[in-house]
Each structure stands twice: as structure tokens, then as C-alpha cells.
Amino acid sequence: MSAFPKTRLRRLRRTDRLRGLVRETRLDLDDFVMPLFVGPESLTNPELPAMGRFSVDDVLSEADVLAGLGVRAALLFGIPEEKDEEASGAYDDDGIIQAALRALRGRHPELLLLTDVCLCEYTSHGHCGVIRDGEVANDESLDLIARTAVSHAEAGADAVCPSDMMDGRVGAVREALDDAGFEQIPIVSYAAKYASAFYGPFREAAESAPAFGDRRGYQMDAANVREAARELSLDVAEGADALIVKPALPYLDVIRAARERFDLPIAAYNVSGEYAMVKAAAGRGWMEERAAALESLTAIKRAGADFVVSYWTKELAGWL
Ligand code: PBG
């Protein structure tokens, strides 16, 4: 191996063309999914524009804009008119997501519609399952989560994304989908979802902060990566078609471990707090948003993500 001065790594960095030639990771809009919040009324969010909310009518116009920009996929979250103990808005045939899906499906057959399958936006207490004796009851929640997934498929979802972190949910969702004749609907499971401080802006947007306690009894501990491998393997065994690691930037090692260990598509969720940090810093003139966003998204892909859920997807469409 000849070293300096024969070897000069700067040679390939000299011009934009040379850097482009040897670039290892590229961003392609096909690999990005835009989260969309649907609620009874539209609500703009001037500071965090991607975290605004759309009525069913307005989500149609937003989908027109996204499709026009070349965005291929959206991940839908619903904020129901009313919440209750049993999250009935989640699996109501006339629920907010079901209505949005029917409207979008008719107008945009080519836009991939993924849905977040969880109870937390629909429960009055904000937990991802039903409460029995002061605890989130795993097995009883599974039935409701599975019902929710089936109702999304019936309303036109292209794929469902269980994000509740109950044990056995992927198997329960697979079985319920198959029983209802939806063998072809993929499950993109939030397989390694950590209990994270980076979900703050989302919980505000979705009004889903837990009314008591926190989510550490079901979401993963930030300190663990071997346990993530167990979560991922279980979801694979239960029939997941693709696996999500969430959040993304503080968990690049988990994305890398998932990539090396599994042959399924691996996704990463670049969550609300990751987006908000850059927005806030950019707002103060501390960094340039576009450069910081592109660097973040490139790092997530470099770590091994095949596709990324990101609040920058819409802006990215303009940047690329
Ligand atoms: C639902 C859900 C959450 C997020 C996605 N699905 C919130 C949570 O688990 O508290 C967070 C997304 C984000 O922060 O962008 N369980």
C-alpha cells in the first residue's frame, strides 16, 4: 500500500463532477414517505409546516400538490373528533382515516397510502393500548389494533404500519388481514421503536401525549441494540414485510445493525423532534436548513435505510 505522497484522497474531491462520480449514497424521492395529519379541521403550523393538519377536503388538495411534486408515498395519521377509553375512532368505518383513505384513493390511485396503526391518537388517555388495572393491556389491545388495520385496508390503504409496540401485534394484524381477504396488503412494522424524547412535536400535533405515565412500558429503552434485533426477528417471524427503526438520527447504529442482520427492506423514521431541532436552529440562523436536512437524510440512507419517513419529503421534492 503506497501512502502519501502517492496517495492523495483530495484528488477525487477537487471538483463537483469528481465528487459526484464517487458519491456512495444518493437521495431519490422514490425512497421518501411524507407523513400527513388528518383531522376534523385544518390547522396550519407556521413554525413546523409539515406538522400542520388537514381536513379530509384539504388533504385532497395537499395530495394534489405532493403528487405534482413527484412525491410517491404518504403515511397517514388521524386526529379524531372525539377520543374514548376504547379508541373507537381508530376502527370506526367512518373514522377520520377511513374517510381520508376513501377520498384519496379515488383521486390518487398512484399515490402510495400507508397508514399508522395505533390507538394513542384515539384513546382519551393517550396510551397505545387499552388500560386495564392501570396498565396498558397487551392482548386485549391486539384485537383493536388488528381491527384498525383491517378497516384501513377496507378503506383503501396500500400498506399498514403498526406502531403501538404491543407484543404479538404483527401476527395479530397479519391474521386479521388474511381472514378479511387482504393477503396482499403488506405490513410495514415499526419494529424497533424507542421510547424517545424526540416525539414531542408529533404528540402536540396529534394530541397524543399520554395523560398519565409514559410509554416506557412498551416502547424500547434507548440503551439497547441487541433487544432491537430481538424485536426485529419477532416481527419477521410474525409476518412483517418491511421493518422500521424509529427515531433515525440518534439510532443510526440500530439502522446499520438491522441492515446487516436482515434481508427485508429497512426503513427509518426521521421523527418530529429531529425535524424540529433543525427548523429551530435554522430559525435562529445557527444552521442552514436545507444543507442540514440533506445531510441528515443522507446519513440515514448511508446507515442502511432503504426508505425514509421524513417531514422534509415535500421540501426534498423541490430540492432534488
Ligand atoms: C404513534 C406514533 C408516534 C409517532 C409515530 N407514530 C408517537 C408516539 O409513539 O408517541 C411519532 C412520530 C414523530 O415523532 O414524528 N404511536
Ligand 1 centroid to Cα of residue 190, in Å, is: 10
User: What pLDDT, on a 0 to 100 scale, did the predictor assign at position 2?
Assistant: 76
Q: How far is the C-alpha of 290 from the C-alpha of 64, rounded, in Å?
A: 23
Distance separating alpha carbons of residues 2 and 220, to the nearest angstrom: 47
Set of cell numbers at residue 40: 376534523
Phi, psi (rounded to 5 degrees) for 267:
-115, 160
Encoded amino acid at 188, one letter: V
CA atoms within 13 A on the CB side of 220: 22
Residue 90 · residue 173 · CB < 8 Å: no
Check residue 153 and give its pLDDT: 98
Q: Which residues of 130-161 are buried (b: 16+ CB within 10 A; e: fewer)?
A: bbeeeebebeebbebbbbbbbbbbebbbbbbb
**Confidence (pLDDT) at 99:** 98
Domain interval for residue 207:
26-319
Domain count, the chain: 1
Classify residue 169 by burial, with Cβ atoms within 10 Å: 0-12, 13-18, 19+: buried
Nearest CA to ligand 1 atom 8: 199
Identify which of 202, 246, 308 to mutate to test ligand 1's pocket (most ligand atoms within 8 A of the CB): 202
Q: Does residue 86 lie in a domain region?
A: yes
Residue 5 lies in a domain: no
In a domain, 181, yes or no: yes
Catalytic-residue membership of 246:
yes
Query: 145, 163, 309: which to mutate for ligand 1, most atoms within 8 A of CB?
Result: 163
Say which CATH number the domain at 253 has: 3.20.20.70
What's the CA-to-centroid distance between 202 and ligand 1, angstroms?
Answer: 6
Given the residues 6, 83, 246, 279, the one annotated as active site: 246
21 occurs within a structural domain: no
Ligand 1 pocket (Cβ < 6 Å) reads 116, 118, 120, 128, 163, 199, 202-203, 215, 271-272
- Determine, yes or no, domain membership for 10: no
pLDDT of 207 reads 87
Atom of ligand 1 nearest to the CA of 198: 14
Residue 311 CA: nearest ligand 1 atom is: 15
What's the CA-to-centroid distance between 158 and ligand 1, angstroms? Answer: 20
- For residue 121, the ligand 1 atom closest to its alpha carbon is 1
What is the distance of C-alpha 305 from the center of its chain? Answer: 13
Q: At what angle do helices 252-261 and 226-238 cross, to 10 degrees?
A: 50
Catalytic residue from among 6, 83, 193, 279: 193
Pairing state between β 159-162 and 188-193: unpaired
Residue 18 domain-assigned (yes or no): no
Q: pLDDT tens string for the chain (320 positions)?
A: 679 999 999 999 999 999 999 999 999 999 999 999 999 999 999 999 999 999 999 999 999 999 999 999 999 999 999 999 999 999 999 999 999 999 999 999 999 999 999 999 999 999 999 999 999 999 999 999 999 999 999 999 999 999 999 999 999 999 999 999 999 999 999 999 999 999 999 998 888 899 999 999 999 999 999 999 999 999 999 999 999 999 999 999 999 999 999 999 999 999 999 999 999 999 999 999 999 999 999 999 999 999 999 999 999 999 99
Q: Identify whether 14 is part of a domain.
A: no
Examine residue 223 and state whether it is found in any structural domain, yes or no: yes
Backbone angles phi, psi at 241, to 5 degrees: -100, -25
What single-letter amino acid sits at 134? G
